[in-house]
């Protein structure tokens, strides 16, 4: 069965709650489609107004992060039950900015992925190499390690529903998109890695996004690649351009 594309926006630390409502109202008519799942991953404080604003549309609201404990003395964190209680279905896990600025590791990513599945939330699991790693020729080794650890203890049935976002760090927010060949090569490598961990059926089912300066111009050539099932979009997700990315065909 053909995989349905999934196009997700990562708002990062942008948009106050009132700005979020305004942006969703602007984007709502532009992102209508039956051909892709459309997810807006928004700051925690925007989740509830965003859900309200997106009601009746095809926009699904996701979180940008989540903690791996159920509850307790973890000041400032958001629990999985807090997300499911309001209807959040997706959460970005292990974005490179969280790994770089908030000390997330492959191990904490794994704990969060397991916890998300436990609560029925679909994780969008991020991986990606630095420019140095690419230049040293260790891109695939590095990403395989990230993916293998992220999926430790995850069942094949769960993995089939997961989303992996391949985001070369050197391409995030830099305006430098990976070439379609580079993006397809790594996304194909990730699918092979999933086949090794699980089986062909799981590898065929899992959805793999490309992320890194995706815009309306680059989306079509990226999204036709056989192993690229959509995009994780930062900057361009905050503009009407996002409508063109979603309706890339
Ligand atoms: C991201 O935040 O995941 C991202 C890919 O950002 P940008 O599209 O701005 O490079």
93-113 residue pLDDT tens: 999 999 999 999 999 999 999
Nearest CA to ligand 1 atom 6: 234
C-alpha radius of gyration, the chain, whole number: 17
Whole-model pTM over 0.85: yes
pLDDT tens, residue by residue, 176-216: 888 999 999 999 999 999 999 999 999 999 999 999 999 99
Write down the residue that tokens 């993916």 correspond to: 147
Mutate to test the pocket of ligand 1, among 13, 235, 237, 239 (most ligand atoms within 8 A of CB): 235
Residue in this structure with the two tokens 């709650």, named with its chain if needed: 17
- The percent of the chain in helix, strand and coil, each rounded to the nearest 5, is 45, 15, 35
Note if 167 is an active site residue. Answer: yes
Write down the pLDDT at residue 37. 98
% residues pLDDT > 90 (the chain): 97
* pLDDT attached to residue 229: 98
Q: What is the pLDDT, as a whole number, of residue 66? A: 98
* pLDDT the model gives residue 152: 98
Nearest CA to ligand 1 atom 3: 234
Confidence check: pLDDT of 1 > 70: no
């Amino acid at each position: 069965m053909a995989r349905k594309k999934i196009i997700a926006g990562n708002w990062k630390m942008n948009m106050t709650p009132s700005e979020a409502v305004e942006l969703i109202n602007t984007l709502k008519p532009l992102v209508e489609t039956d051909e892709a799942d459309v997810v807006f991953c928004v700051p925690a404080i925007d989740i509830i107004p965003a859900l309200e604003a997106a009601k009746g549309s095809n926009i699904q609201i996701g979180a940008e992060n989540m903690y791996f404990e159920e509850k307790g003395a973890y000041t400032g964190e958001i629990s999985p039950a807090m997300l499911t209680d309001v209807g959040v279905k997706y959460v970005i896990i292990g974005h490179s900015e969280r790994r770089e600025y908030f000390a997330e590791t492959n191990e904490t990513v794994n704990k969060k992925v397991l916890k998300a599945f436990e609560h029925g939330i679909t994780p969008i699991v991020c991986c990606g190499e630095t420019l140095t790693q690419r230049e040293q020729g260790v891109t695939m080794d590095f990403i395989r390690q990230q993916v293998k650890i992220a999926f430790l203890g995850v069942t094949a049935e769960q993995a089939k529903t997961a989303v992996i976002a391949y985001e070369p760090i050197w391409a995030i927010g830099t305006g430098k998109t990976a070439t379609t060949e580079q993006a397809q090569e790594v996304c194909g490598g990730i699918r092979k890695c999933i086949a090794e961990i699980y089986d062909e059926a799981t590898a065929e089912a899992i959805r793999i996004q490309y992320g890194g300066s995706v815009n309306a111009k680059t989306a079509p050539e990226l999204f036709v690649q056989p192993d690229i099932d959509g995009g994780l979009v930062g900057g361009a997700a905050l503009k009407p351009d996002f409508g063109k990315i979603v309706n890339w065909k």
